[in-house]
Structure 1
């Protein structure tokens, strides 16, 4: 079942250099797709601060979006609305427009996430909505996926820049020794930083989603 993702930059109007932020975001997306190519159509800017992309499965989308969150530089955050449902391209004026229930569901997910951030879950960054008629037998899986997304987002939101880099590396199967050399610290410092940040749980969740592949 196709997965549509709509992303937007949080607080884009308050960024000191909007153009630099967009370039940093594009670089992070390219890095993730180089390190672990999972998107059918990688996230690309559409209008304003919004991006759109597609994935083959919900697992692929969640894996890729976790890596992207970890790869984003300090001060740059996105929210991700994930829609489950049919998607299509509508010809218009020599180009195509993204359309279909999957995109409408992704938009609903962004709206739900925005409201959630203003109330009970300010650290939330990812939400999943199944389009009507596309969720037969999927209510529990979607609800469980959202519960997982809320928990992991809370961990990532609270992480330091170093903890995010280390967690990214471990998700891709890099050793603590390699990461320590790259960071210029001891392996015990890497272990302590990851333990404090709850990285092990994120890495295990990522491995489970990716079918045991780090």
Structure 2
């Protein structure tokens, strides 16, 4: 079940340092790709503030969106549109162009999450849409993923930058003692921050994914 992903930067035109934001995003994506190399076509900038990539499974795409959010510093936030469907290439004199139903669904997904963010759910950052021609199972998987994402993004959106760093580490089994040493704080402080931020639920959800 191929999943196309489109990513854009929240409020990119209002950022005081667009170059710094792009560097931070590039660094976050590179880190996630090292730690969880599940992309069929890795996320890469396309034009303006967008990145695109392709994943072989929905779980892999969901795990990637979580880790990128956790890896990003406060200066930049992203939206993620995930489209379930067929992907293909259109021949062009300048090289093959990615196209197909999954990309159309990814665009619809990112438009939807932007609308949610602007209206009823300011914390929304990620959405999944299955193309109309996909089987019922794909639409049900997308619906269940969106239920998960609404809660997950709410938790991640409320975290401080340090809490996100700690949560990222816990997703990969880094101990609280090790995290405390990295942050220069006590293990007790790490434990309290993880508990207060709801990190345990985010880490447990990550562990249930099968990228």
1:136 to partner: Cα distance: 2.2
User: Structure 1, residues 46-85: CA drift from partner, whole Å, max 9, x if none?
Assistant: 1111110011100000011100000001120000000000
Residues 1:103 and 2:103 are matched in the alignment? yes
Moved over 6 A (4+): none
User: Matches of 2:14 and 2:74 in 1, distance apart?
Assistant: 14
Secondary structure of the corresponding residue to residue 52 of structure 1: strand
Secondary structure of the corresponding residue to residue 137 of structure 1: helix
Residues 1:165 and 2:156 are matched in the alignment? no
Matched with 1:35 is 35
Matches within 5 A, 1:1-214: 1-210=1-210
Q: Which TM-score applies when normalising by structure 1?
A: 0.96
How many equivalent pairs are there?
211
1:93 to partner: Cα distance: 1.8
User: Matches of 2:49 and 2:137 in 1, distance apart?
Assistant: 34
User: Structure 1, residues 68-116: CA drift from partner, whole Å, max 9, x if none?
Assistant: 0000011200000000000011111231211000000000001111111
- What is the CA RMSD across the aligned residues, in angstroms? 1.0
- The farther-off stretch of 157-166 and 86-95 is 86-95
- The farther-off stretch of 196-205 and 140-149 is 140-149
1:20 to partner: Cα distance: 1.7
User: Matches of 2:56 and 2:188 in 1, distance apart?
Assistant: 38
User: Matches of 1:127 and 1:137 in 2, distance apart?
Assistant: 17
Secondary structure of the corresponding residue to residue 42 of structure 2: strand
Secondary structure of the corresponding residue to residue 73 of structure 1: coil
User: Matches of 2:116 and 2:157 in 1, distance apart?
Assistant: 15
User: Matches of 2:135 and 2:147 in 1, distance apart?
Assistant: 17
User: Matches of 1:36 and 1:138 in 2, distance apart?
Assistant: 24
CA contact (8 A) 2:40 2:56 kept: yes
User: Matches of 1:165 and 1:9 in 2, distance apart?
Assistant: 20
Instruction: Name stretches of at least 5 consecutive residues in structure 2 with no aligned partner.
Output: none
Secondary structure of the corresponding residue to residue 95 of structure 1: coil
Instruction: Name stretches of at least 5 consecutive residues in structure 1 with no aligned partner.
Output: none
